[in-house]
Amino acid sequence: MLQVNFLRENKERVLKGLGKRGFKQMDLVDKAISFDDDRKKYQFELDQNLSEMNKISKEIGLLMREGKNEEAESAKSKTAEFKENSQDLQQKLKDAEAKLLDVLYQIPNVPYEKVKAGTTAEENEIIYQSHDVEGLGEGAIPHWELAKKYNLIDFELGVKIAGAGFPVYFGKGARLQRALVQYFLDKNVDAGYLEVNPPHVVNEASGYGTGQLPDKEGQMYYINEDKLFLIPTAEVPVTNLYRDVLLDEKDLPIKNTAFSQCYRREAGSYGAHVRGLNRLHQFEKVEIVRLERPENSYAALEVMVEHVKSILVDLELPFRILRLCGGDTGFAAAMTYDFEVWSAAQEKWLEVSSVSNFETFQATRLKCRFKSEGKTQLVHTLNGSAMALPRIMAALLENNQTAEGIRIPAKIVEYAKFDLIN
């Protein structure tokens, strides 16, 4: 969430940045400033009113001690008027604050200066590509057929148990999943990230803290009786570890990694593009989260990008890195890099990671601050996938299929304890 003072003091920059996104509700910026003006006005009037009421209350005590009962009763009637007026002002202040908050929740983050204007994925910038890519040629089959051929994943059995989008992994398929998770975690820990095992459910306050609420509740599974949400990613509980926390400067940077199951309703997702592992309701992912001083956050973002890049190099997969244009950048992010791997049998790119800097957008909601030289300021939050399993698994199966079977990358063999699926 953007702070209203930031909107007020940087209005031209904000409007220009939102224009990069193709944002249509520019009037919300003026509405936020107007509601904040109302809030300040009612707060000032309420403070004045309470001050006068306190002043008269003290006078009543003095008049009573002096035996001036008639004047004291007259003063009491005035306090009743002030009290009634205060209640009215308190309600007006509450309404203005609610209107302001509602508008602020609707304004996305301002893209970073390097982010280009654009409204579609086709306008994203390709900043790196590891290989020239091509299809595997005649006889290559997609991962859902490979999974069936080698008894790795059963999609139909998952439908029987839970519905579409909940696959069941068997044998070497299950073991390869576990090997990848362990490799990702070890790689992250070796890079200085502290491993965390967080809850897989969060409360409403946590959803607001990282920006899933109020506008994305329809994409999350909700446990009505307990008013809890199944997490869409470990970013949510891990970042919320620092909600309402005042950190010391020496605590930064904070670097966490976590493995979790992820749950997404993916409402409205149908068609061939979501077949097999391309899009699921439940999947495994390893996440990295960082809290940084503002002046260090973009250097940290580049370090995260290089880290994820090194993972894909180890996996021996053809991949590319994109810097997203304004319109394709997530609501809460200031800048995002997407990583895509080449699906040789499907002959298309599959997104496997997003690495983002949210600047103070999440920290404002989280009230996550740090103290430096006696001054308190908001941290910058960053997160990235390192990595998401389904499409990595799809690309590994498809790109490594041979006449003998599916070859396992050398870095994963030590975790999986086999080098070939046949």
CATH number where 80 lies: 1.10.287
Residues 199 and 303 in one domain: yes
d(CA 300, CA 406): 36
Identify whether 109 is part of a domain.
Answer: no
Residues 100 and 126 in one domain: no
Total residues belonging to the chain: 422
DSSP class of residue 314?
H
Identify whether 115 is part of a domain.
Answer: no
Identify whether 417 is part of a domain.
Answer: yes
Number of structural domains (the chain) is: 2
Identify whether 207 is part of a domain.
Answer: yes
DSSP class of residue 33?
H
- DSSP secondary structure, 344-394, as one string: TTTTEEEEEEEEEEEETHHHHHHT-EEEETTEEEEPEEEEEEEEEHHHHHH
Residues 193 and 316 in one domain: yes
Q: What CATH number has the domain bearing residue 247? A: 3.30.930.10
Contacts 24+ apart (CB under 8 A), 7-12: 7/32, 7/33, 7/107, 8/33, 8/36
3-class state of residue 254 by DSSP: strand
Q: How far are the Cα atoms of 32, 325, 328, 332 from residue 20, in angstroms, in the given order? A: 20, 8, 10, 14
- φ/ψ of residue 114, rounded to 5: -75, -15
Residues 220 and 326 in one domain: yes
Residues 66 and 136 in one domain: no
d(CA 204, CA 202): 7
d(CA 198, CA 344): 35
Residues 125 and 29 in one domain: no
* Residue-range definition of the domain harbouring residue 181: 121-421
Residues 60 and 203 in one domain: no
Question: Residue 40 in contact with residue 143, Cβ under 8 Å?
Answer: no
d(CA 313, CA 66): 88
Identify whether 89 is part of a domain.
Answer: yes
Identify whether 367 is part of a domain.
Answer: yes
d(CA 232, CA 287): 11
Over its length of 422 residues, how does the chain's per-residue pLDDT go in tens digits?
Answer: 999 999 999 999 999 999 999 999 999 999 999 999 999 999 999 999 888 877 877 777 777 777 777 776 676 777 777 788 899 999 999 999 999 999 999 999 999 999 999 999 999 999 999 988 876 667 789 999 999 999 999 999 999 999 999 999 999 999 999 999 999 999 999 999 999 999 999 999 999 999 999 988 889 999 999 999 999 999 999 999 999 999 999 999 999 999 999 999 986 555 555 789 999 999 999 999 999 999 999 999 999 999 999 999 999 999 999 999 999 999 999 999 999 999 988 889 999 999 999 999 999 999 999 999 889 999 999 999 999 999 999 999 999 999 999 999 999 999 999 999 99
Amino acid, res. 235 = E
